[in-house]
Structure 1
Amino acid sequence: MTIRKTTLGWLVDTRPEGATGKRYRKSFDTKREALEYEAWLKTNATQTPGWQPAKRDVRKLTELIEIWHSQHGRQLSSGEDTYSRLKKMAEAMGNPYADKMTGELFAQYRAVRIEAGISASSMNREKSYLQAMFNELARLDIWKGENPLQKVRSFKIAERELSFLTYDQIDLLFAELKKGRNEHVHMISQVCLATGARWSEAETLRRPQVRNGLIQFALTKSKKVRAVPIDADLEATLDGHYQKHSSTIGDERFFSTAYSAFIEALNRTGIILPAGQATHVMRHTFASHFMINGGNILVLQKILGHSSLAMTMRYAHLSPDHLIEVRTLNPLSKWKNAQICGLTVAAEATSECIAIEARSLL
Structure 2
Amino acid sequence: MTVRKQPDGQWLCDVYIDGRGSKRVRKKFTTRGEALAFENYQLEQVKEKPWLADKEDNRRLSELIELWYKLHGCSLNDKKGRLGKLNIICNGLGDPIASQITAKDWAHYRDRRLTGQIANGYKTSEKSLKVSIGTVNCEHAFLRAVFNELTRLGEVNYPNPLKNIREFDEPEKEMSWLTDDEVKRLMGACRGHGNPELTQIVKICLSTGARWSEAANLKKSQLSPNKITFVNTKGKKNRTVPISDELYKELISRDGKPFEQCYRQFYRVIKIAELQLPEGQMSHVLRHTFASHFMMGGGNIIVLQRILGHSDIRVTMRYAHFAPDHLEDALILNPLSKLGGASTK
Q: Please state if 1:198 is matched with 2:196.
A: no
Cα distance, 1:5–1:273 mapped onto 2, change above 3 Å: farther
Aligned to 2:132: 119
Counterpart of 2:318 in structure 1 is 314
C-alpha contact (below 8 Å) 1:194/1:286 kept by paired residues? yes
Structure 1 segment 125-204 matched on structure 2, within 5 A: 125-204=138-217
Counterpart pick for 1:263 among 257, 261, 267 = 267
RMSD across aligned positions (CA): 3.0
Q: Which amino acid aligns with 1:319?
A: A
Partner of 1:68: 68
**CA apart distance, 1:155:** 1.0
Q: Mind listing any 5+ residue stretches in structure 2 that lack a counterpart?
A: 117-129
Distance (whole Å) between structure 2 residues aligned to residue 183 and residue 42 of structure 1: 77
Kindly indicate whether the alpha-carbon contact (under 8 Å) linking 1:205 and 1:253 is maintained by their aligned counterparts in 2.
Answer: no
Give the aligned residue type for 1:72. H
Match of 2:110 in 1: 110
Alignment match, 1:279:
283
Secondary structure (helix, strand or coil) at the match of 1:184 reads helix
- Number of residue pairs the alignment of both structures matches: 321
Report the secondary structure of 1:255's partner residue. Answer: coil
Q: Is 2:214 the partner of 1:223?
A: no
TM-score by length of 1: 0.80
Work out whether residues 241 and 307 of structure 2, in 8 Å CA contact, stay in contact via their aligned partners in 1: yes
Deviation at 1:44, TM superposition (A): 5.2
Contact 2:23 2:55 in 1 (8 A): no
User: Contact conserved, 1:12 with 1:24, CA < 8 A, in 2?
Assistant: no
Spell out, residue by residue over 1:224-261, the C-alpha distance to the aligned partner (whole angstroms, 9 max, x if none): 00000112111112223x0xxx2xxxxx3352112111
CA spacing shift, 1:222–1:11, aligned 2, 3 Å: farther
TM-score under structure 2 normalisation? 0.84
Given that 1:131 and 1:150 are in contact with CA atoms closer than 8 Å, whether structure 2 keeps it comes out as yes
Paired AA for residue 288 in structure 1: S
CA–CA distance in structure 2, aligned partners of residues 275 and 23 of structure 1: 51
Deviation at 1:315, TM superposition (A): 0.4
Match of 2:90 in 1: 90
Q: Secondary structure at the match of 2:176?
A: coil
Structure-1 residue corresponding to 2:307: 303
* Aligned amino acid, residue 133 of structure 2: A
Encode CA deviations 1:114-170: one digit per residue, 9 max, x unaligned: 111211111111011111000111111110101010011111121112111001001
Inter-partner Cα distance in structure 2 for 1:215 and 1:331: 49
Alpha-carbon contact 1:198-1:283 (below 8 Å) kept:
yes
1:286-297 correspondence runs (5 A): 286-297=290-301
1:189 CA displacement: 0.6
Structure 1 stretches of 5 or more lacking a match? 247-251, 346-362
Q: Which residue in 2 is equivalent to 1:56?
A: 56
**Cα distance change of structure 1 residues 200 and 143 upon mapping to structure 2, 3 Å threshold:** same
**Alpha-carbon separation, structure 2, partners of 1:173 and 1:60:** 51
Report sequence identity in percent. 38
Alpha-carbon distance, 1:88 to partner: 1.8
Once residues 276 and 338 of structure 1 are traced to their aligned partners in structure 2, the CA distance between those partners, rounded to angstroms, is 42
Other-structure match for 1:335: 339
Mapped partners of 1:258, 1:203: distance in 2: 9
Q: Cα 1:24–1:137, aligned 2, differ >3 Å: closer, same or farther?
A: closer
Question: Does the aligned pair in 2 maintain the 1:120–1:155 contact within 8 Å?
Answer: yes
Distance (whole Å) between structure 1 residues aligned to residue 228 and residue 23 of structure 2: 70
Residues 253 and 5 (structure 1), Cα distance of their counterparts in 2 relative to 1, 3 Å cut = farther
Contact 1:16 1:45 in 2 (8 A): no
Structure showing greater radius of gyration is 1
1:255–1:13 distance in 2 versus 1, CA, 3 Å: same
Q: Which amino acid aligns with 1:39?
A: A
